[in-house]
């Protein structure tokens, strides 16, 4: 049975060669936003000896439609054993010459640039027709820009596509061969990952390109403030290499306001550092934290995060509300603050997110233009030289490598605001999902996790007790008021001792570390430990994942459960 877990970026690229001009696009539900209003043709990622201004292609669309067609035609890619377990995928290599198919040159491909003529794409020496997918796609008008080109430059960036599953899906759309003399030479393409920063080897990678990683869970409860080098990393695109001397933050105003309001402002980092400095203790948690547990109920799409995609730090910088008030901006309930990063795809489309203006303008919400993390300058993975910190809000809105801020009547139109990081009913699937019907996640729900002991650890009780340690946190500034731990399936509960900051409820943005001494009955050989947290609004974690399952695996906050061996 086909299981398609590949993440497909949305990408618009234009290819200018010495033979012909082609325009292509690749779209997906996972990376790029659906509308491209400010795409640029200059592509800093690619540097070739040919006359390429920007190399482009459409690949994930091909794979996505291939999956659609493949399922409709009921062609099995997997051989299923009698036991019902999947066996290895048959070896497939896409783009190899096929003598049973006709040959096309690049001029033939570029003539197929509209829905009327059909839309084609190339990969190595293969030619593929993706027209039917575009006709049946539920949105993405931008796909109509597509028209022939090479997949290979794209896969230099999103290398998860270089696997037999995607190749097999791609080959179901194969219509012909590309003349060998028309195959683009991509061997000298600039590697967009060549300037990635070095990372601490303790981090466990969920993906390498882009880099996403979390520390071992057992290390989280060793320190109330997570060391910068061990703080989880969530990147969506290559890490930008920013020269701080050239760095500027641009702020613009697009809402209706009186003439006294400054409509545009540019700030150098030194200017931001001269503003009054504030610090806030705040945990940041990825929206997909603990997704791997939810996957045990049913498959979801997204990185397989454990329970360590969270960290706690002291963030320091200027208050954004002070900057905006100095421009004459006033809070209202309708407007939004859009944050745009400097991490970009090959078309210079960047990561973006937004939060309500009213939230930012309230000084008690401590929204910072942060340049320090735990008393040190931000490192590159965490947003050097400047990022926004929005305490109590999902990590996806805390935009790193902050390049510009827009005060707008609309939410950010980025993919990650509109078509990702939203929750849905357990009955919603990819055939029925409508991202426009769900609000973007802001505050995260209450959660907890057991850090020590870990799954399958061998533990010897001391005086009939086992020491259990972990963390708890709730979004929106809610303080953790209690953590309960059980070792007998909830028949009895032990209330944990809490270590937390002194901030009041509604402004308690940091996490809580906890310790519980859980009794163990004599003769017990195996034990399943459960933890659940309660916040200051008396929100409590749900018992299991079945009733909170969602297709993206976000908001994964059921009881944390760990099985151990008792010695």
Q: Which are the catalytic amino acids?
A: 137, 161, 234, 286, 421
Parallel, antiparallel or unpaired: strands 458-459 and 560-566: parallel
Q: Three-class SS of residue 346?
A: coil
Q: Are 73 and 41 in contact (CB under 8 A)?
A: no
Q: Are 551 and 430 in contact (CB under 8 A)?
A: yes
Number of CB atoms found within 10 A of residue 475's CB: 23
- Residue 45 to residue 544: CA distance in whole angstroms: 44
- Residue 184 to residue 193: CA distance in whole angstroms: 21
Q: How many C-alpha atoms does 360 have within 13 Å on its Cβ side?
A: 32
Assigned token pair, 377: 């300058």
Backbone angles phi, psi at 245, to 5 degrees: -70, -30
Write out the H or E segment, with its range, that includes residue 358: helix 357-361
**Termini Cα distance of the chain:** 41
Assigned token pair, 287: 């929206």
Q: How wide is the angle at C-alpha 286 spanned by C-alphas 469 and 467, nearest 5°? A: 5
Q: Are 244 and 386 in contact (CB under 8 A)?
A: no
- Residue 545 to residue 532: CA distance in whole angstroms: 13
Which are the contacts of 463, defined by CB distance < 8 A and separation ≥ 6? Answer: none
Instruction: State the helix-helix crossing angle for 164-171 and 60-72, rounded to 10 degrees.
Output: 70
Which has the closest alpha carbon to 508: 474, 479, 540?
Answer: 479
* DSSP for residue 478: P
How many helices (H) does the chain have, and how many strands (E)?
A: 11, 29
Q: Three-class SS of residue 541?
A: coil
CA 129 to chain centre: 30
Which are the contacts of 297, defined by CB distance < 8 A and separation ≥ 6? Answer: 545, 546, 549
Assigned token pair, 12: 């618009």
């Amino acid at each position: 049975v086909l299981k398609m877990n590949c993440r497909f970026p949305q990408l618009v690229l234009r290819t200018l060669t010495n033979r012909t001009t082609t325009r292509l696009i690749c779209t997906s539900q996972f990376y790029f936003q659906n509308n491209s209003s400010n795409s640029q043709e200059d592509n800093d990622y690619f540097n070739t000896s040919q006359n390429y201004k920007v190399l482009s292609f459409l690949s994930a669309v091909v794979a996505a439609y291939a999956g659609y067609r493949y399922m409709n035609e009921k062609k099995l890619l997997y051989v299923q054993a009698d036991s019902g377990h999947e066996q290895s995928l048959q070896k497939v290599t896409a783009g190899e010459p096929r003598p049973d198919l006709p040959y096309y040159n690049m001029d033939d491909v570029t003539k197929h640039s509209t829905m009327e003529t059909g839309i084609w794409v190339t990969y190595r020496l293969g030619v593929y027709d993706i027209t039917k997918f575009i006709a049946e796609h539920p949105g993405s008008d931008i796909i109509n820009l597509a028209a022939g080109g090479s997949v290979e430059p794209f896969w230099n960036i999103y290398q998860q596509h270089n696997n037999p599953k995607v190749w097999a899906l791609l080959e179901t759309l194969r219509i012909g061969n590309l003349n060998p003399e028309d195959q683009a030479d991509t061997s000298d393409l600039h590697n967009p990952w060549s300037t990635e920063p070095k990372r601490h080897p303790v981090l466990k990678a969920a993906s390498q390109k882009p880099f996403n990683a979390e520390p071992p869970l057992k290390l989280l409860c060793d320190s109330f403030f997570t060391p910068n080098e061990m703080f989880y990393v969530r990147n969506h695109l290559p890490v930008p290499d920013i020269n701080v001397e050239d760095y500027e933050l641009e702020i613009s105003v697009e809402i209706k306001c009186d003439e006294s309001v400054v409509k545009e402002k540019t700030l150098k980092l030194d200017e931001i550092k001269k503003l009054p400095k504030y610090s806030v203790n705040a945990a940041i948690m990825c929206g997909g934290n603990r997704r791997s547990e939810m996957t045990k109920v049913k498959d979801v799409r997204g990185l397989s995060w454990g329970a360590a995609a969270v960290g706690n730090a002291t963030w320091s910088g200027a208050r954004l509300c002070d900057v905006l008030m100095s421009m004459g901006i006033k809070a209202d309930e309708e407007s939004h603050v859009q944050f745009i990063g400097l991490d970009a795809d090959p078309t210079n489309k960047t990561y973006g997110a937004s939060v309500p203006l009213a939230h930012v303008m309230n000084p008690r919400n401590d929204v910072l233009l942060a340049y320090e993390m735990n008393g040190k300058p931000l490192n590159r993975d965490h947003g050097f030289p400047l990022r926004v910190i929005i305490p109590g809000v999902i990590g996806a809105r805390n935009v790193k490598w902050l390049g510009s801020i827009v005060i707008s009547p609309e939410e950010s139109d980025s993919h990650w605001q509109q078509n990702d990081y939203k929750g849905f009913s357990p009955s919603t699937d990819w055939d029925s999902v409508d991202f426009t019907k769900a609000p973007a996640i802001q505050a995260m729900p209450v959660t907890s996790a057991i850090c020590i002991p870990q799954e399958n650890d061998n533990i010897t009780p001391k005086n009939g007790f086992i020491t259990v340690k972990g963390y708890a946190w709730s979004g929106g500034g809610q303080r953790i008021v209690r953590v309960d731990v059980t070792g007998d399936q909830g028949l009895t509960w032990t209330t944990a001792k809490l270590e937390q900051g002194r901030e009041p409820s509604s402004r308690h943005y940091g996490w809580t570390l906890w310790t519980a001494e859980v009794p163990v009955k004599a003769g017990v050989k195996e034990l399943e430990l459960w933890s659940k947290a309660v916040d200051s609004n008396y929100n409590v974690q749900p018992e299991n994942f079945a009733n909170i399952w969602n297709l993206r695996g976000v908001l994964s906050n059921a009881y944390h459960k760990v099985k151990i061996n008792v010695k």
